[in-house]
Every structure is written in C-alpha cells, then in structure tokens.
A and B are shown apart, each in its own frame.
Chain A
Amino acid sequence: MQKSDGIPHFVEVNNIISSQSEDQVPAELSSWLTLVASQRDKRAFTAIFTFFAPKIKRFGIKQLNTEAMAAELVQETLSKVWNKAHLFDPSKGAATTWVYSIMRNASFDMLRKIKTKNELLLGDDIWPIETEEHSDSEVYADHLMERQMVAYVDQLPEAQQLVVKGVYFQELSQEQLAKQLDVPIGTVKSRLRLALAKLKEQVGESHD
C-alpha cells in the first residue's frame, strides 16, 4: 500500500482496513487497545476487531479444522481482548504479539477439549499472558525476606525459638504450644513478646 503525503489520516486508516490481505499492521493498534482499556471505547474496539477477526479465523481453520470452531476462536480471543485490554503493556511489546498469545492459548485449550474431552484449561498456565516480572520480583523478595527471618529466628535463645517456630512456622495456637512445651501459657506469651521485640530490632537494623 502506498502512503503519500497530504492524505487525511482517516483515509489512511480506511485504506488499511479495506486491504487486510496486504498484512499491513495499523500503527495505531497499541493506541486502540489503550483506548479500549481506559474507556471501553467501542470505535477503537471495532477497528481492532476489523483487523484481527479475519486473521484469527484463518488461524482457527488451520488449527481447529471447522469454520464453526474457528468462529468460536475469534469470539473467544476478541472477548478476552475486550475484557483484558488493561493487561496489555505497550512498552513491553507489540499489540500483535499480545493478541497472538491470547489466541494461541485459547486455541490450545479448545483443541485439547476436542481431543481429550478434558475441560482443564492449561493455556494461560503454559504461556502466561501478562509478563510476570512484577509478581516475580515480589515472590522473590518474599523468599529473601523469609530466608532472612529464618536466619534471625535461629539466632534467638532456644526457648524463644521454639515458641516463634511453633506459632509462625507450624501454626500452633499458644495453648497448644504451652501444652507441648509443658509451660504455663503466660510463659509462652512472654517468650513470644521478647522474641518478637528482638526480631523487630534486627529487621529494623538491617533496613537502616
């Protein structure tokens, strides 16, 4: 498709949409998705739909064999695009890659359902849709924190260690612990208080 100067922008969009076979990806895809995410903008979604629907259908016929299944894949994929547009992060990659992942996952689960009668959805676990960098680092920090805490607990006097480990690691109640250690419940409480104060001190120190 030729792009010439002076053509009003809407004409260009119109051309792109009417010549889908030329595989020209509209530059505005990312902005359209952003509009769907922020305002549930139906015009933007219509543009997205018009671009993707025939291509998803082609993919669906190849993967799932029938026209009807392919139409179901179009519906399934574009419904997710409509509902989950806010998960699309334009700084992390192209809109087409994002839509491809959604389509591939849906197609995989549909095919599996046909072949094995199994309803278990695996696609989004095998190929996580949104980059998990964010949650990864949180989980990682948690692990580090946990390991650090365990190290601190191990430095406590043994009597206090037993109480902390019982309550926080084995999730025993203070009553159960008192019985197990054969001490009055007041002792359990005071040991726990001392231990926590010490731990707080140490965590505070290392964070200064």
Chain B
Amino acid sequence: MIKLHPETPMLSSFVAGELPASVSVIIASHVEMCSVCQQEVERLTLQAANACFGESNVMPMAGVDSVQIDDEFGSFSLEAELDSNELSMLEAITGMAPERDTIVNTAVVEDKEIEVSGVRFTIPRALRAVEMKPFQGLGKLSRSRLSLEDGDIRTSILHIDKGGSVPTHTHKGFEITLLLQGSFEDEMGTYHAGDFIWLDGKHTHQPVTKTGCVCLTVSSNAIRFTKGVSQLLNPIGQFIY
C-alpha cells in the first residue's frame, strides 16, 4: 500500500510540463506505480486541457461515427480564417506522407529489467530512454547516475543491500526518493515500494534497510533551491538557469 504521494500542486505542475526533467521523471515513475495518482493526473490533465482549449461538454463517443463532413460544412471556406503563414503550415502538414510505422508508443512497451548486486528490478518506463552510468559500489551501497543533464539536479538509482544504511545526512536543497522495490526505515517511519518521499533541509535522516531496497533519487544541493517546495513549483526556466 503506497502511503506517500506527490502533493496536488506538484502534480498540477507536472501535468503542465513545468517541472524540470528529473523531477518530472520521478513523478512519472511514481504515477506508473500508483493508481490513485493515475486518476489524479487524468483529472488534472482534463482541467489543464479545458483551461487551454475551453470547456469540453461533449460526452466521449462510444464508437466511430460516419460523419459526412462535406454536408456539414456546406460551401463556406474554412481557410478564410487562416493567415498566409498558417495556410502554408496547413499545406505542409497535410502534404506529409503517411508515417504509420513510426508512431510513438504504439509498440507494446517492453519492460526493461536490470540487475545490480544480484537483485533484479524493473526500470520505470519514464526512464527507459535515459542512459544509465555503470553502478559504483561502496560497501552495501551501489549507485548509478542517470544522464539527464538537468542542471544541478542529480538523478540516480540507488541499491542498498540487506542490512545496509546511508549515513545520517541532510539536504541543502531537496531530495526526492521513490522506493522502487523493497523497504527501508528512517527516524520518520517505514517506507514501501511506490512511496514518494520528499525531504528538504529541515530533515535529517538515516535510512536503514533490513530487506534491501532499490530507489530512484533526485536531489539537489544548489543554494538556489533552499526555498524548497515552493521553488520546485516554479517554471523550469527559473531554476535551471
């Protein structure tokens, strides 16, 4: 049972595409694991679409309708509404050859599995195109950095072996942990797969795992992040440069 979720304002920014890539990716990975947030994201997307394009009162159609568009439009010219730039764009688009074979996401998505220190786990789909650097080990910890090139924000996959722990630490900026597999405890409680854990400079913690665990982490130590959550909700441009 997932107990910890991203807060609604963060999900709204996520849906609007306003968060940095690394934060978007970790939220997407949580959403993949969490049916509650899937519904919330669906609701927020509908809201954002309505805000952008206007309220849609149309009930979803049950099937394919055979609408005769020529009859509906009569003889007036739709093109009259468009300026010359728009007209040439329209021409360019409808002149394109069909490209049915290069459709994004239509192939059945294959889950990508990797193995670290004898533990197999599935990479979230949001990360499947992102290059992973080789795992580096230190005692019971193994870490692989993800090549997201997201300014000062670092994204990693962390494996902690049975009985391992991370030394007590705090964060100048923020740290988001998504538990992908296994469980761990810290001073604030026990966490399970799917939990989305947000920590900032106010927290000090020492995670310990009895069973071993795999986490996706996004963290920043940049000074400009000291305002924490509120800063994260700013549009992407303000915080990367």
Binding site for B on A (CB under 8 A): 8-11, 13-14, 17-18, 22-25, 27-32, 34-35, 38, 40-47, 49-53, 55, 59, 63, 71, 74-75, 78-79, 82-84, 86-87, 90-97, 99-101, 103-105, 107-108, 111-112, 115-116, 118, 120-130, 132, 135, 138-139
Contact = CB atoms under 8 A, between A and B. Distances in A.
B73 A126 contact: no
Interface of chain A, main secondary structure = helix
Contacts of B105: 124, 128-130, 132
A79 B96 contact: yes
B54 interface: yes
Contacts of A138: 108
B25 interface: yes
Contacts, number: 207
B73 A90 contact: no
Interface residues of B, number: 69
A138 B107 CA distance: 12
- Closest 7 interchain pairs by CB? A23-B54, A10-B74, A100-B49, A90-B61, A31-B67, A94-B56, A108-B17
A125 B129 contact: yes
Given A29-B58, A97-B45, A115-B236, 19 more contacts: A10-B74, A10-B76, A23-B55, A27-B57, A28-B67, A35-B69, A38-B64, A43-B78, A50-B78, A50-B82, A55-B52, A75-B89, A79-B96, A83-B96, A97-B49, A97-B56, A112-B21, A125-B28, A125-B129
Of B55, B81, B85, the most chain A CB neighbours within 10 A belong to B81
Of A9, A103, A104, the most chain B CB neighbours within 10 A belong to A104
Contact of B86 (A53, A101, A124, A125): A53
B53 A96 contact: yes
B2 to A, nearest CB: 18
Contacts of A90: 60-64
B99 interface: yes
A130 B106 contact: yes
B69 A41 contact: yes
Contacts of A17: 78, 81
B111 A139 contact: yes
Given A59-B52, A75-B89, A125-B128, A30 B78 contact: no
A82 B130 contact: no
Given A8-B74, A10-B72, A126-B126, A96 B61 contact: no
Nearest to B58: A27
B221 interface: no
A122 B54 contact: no
B115 interface: no
B54 A43 contact: no
B24 interface: yes
B79 interface: yes
A120 B130 contact: yes
A91 B78 contact: no
Contact of B129 (A53, A91, A104, A122): A122
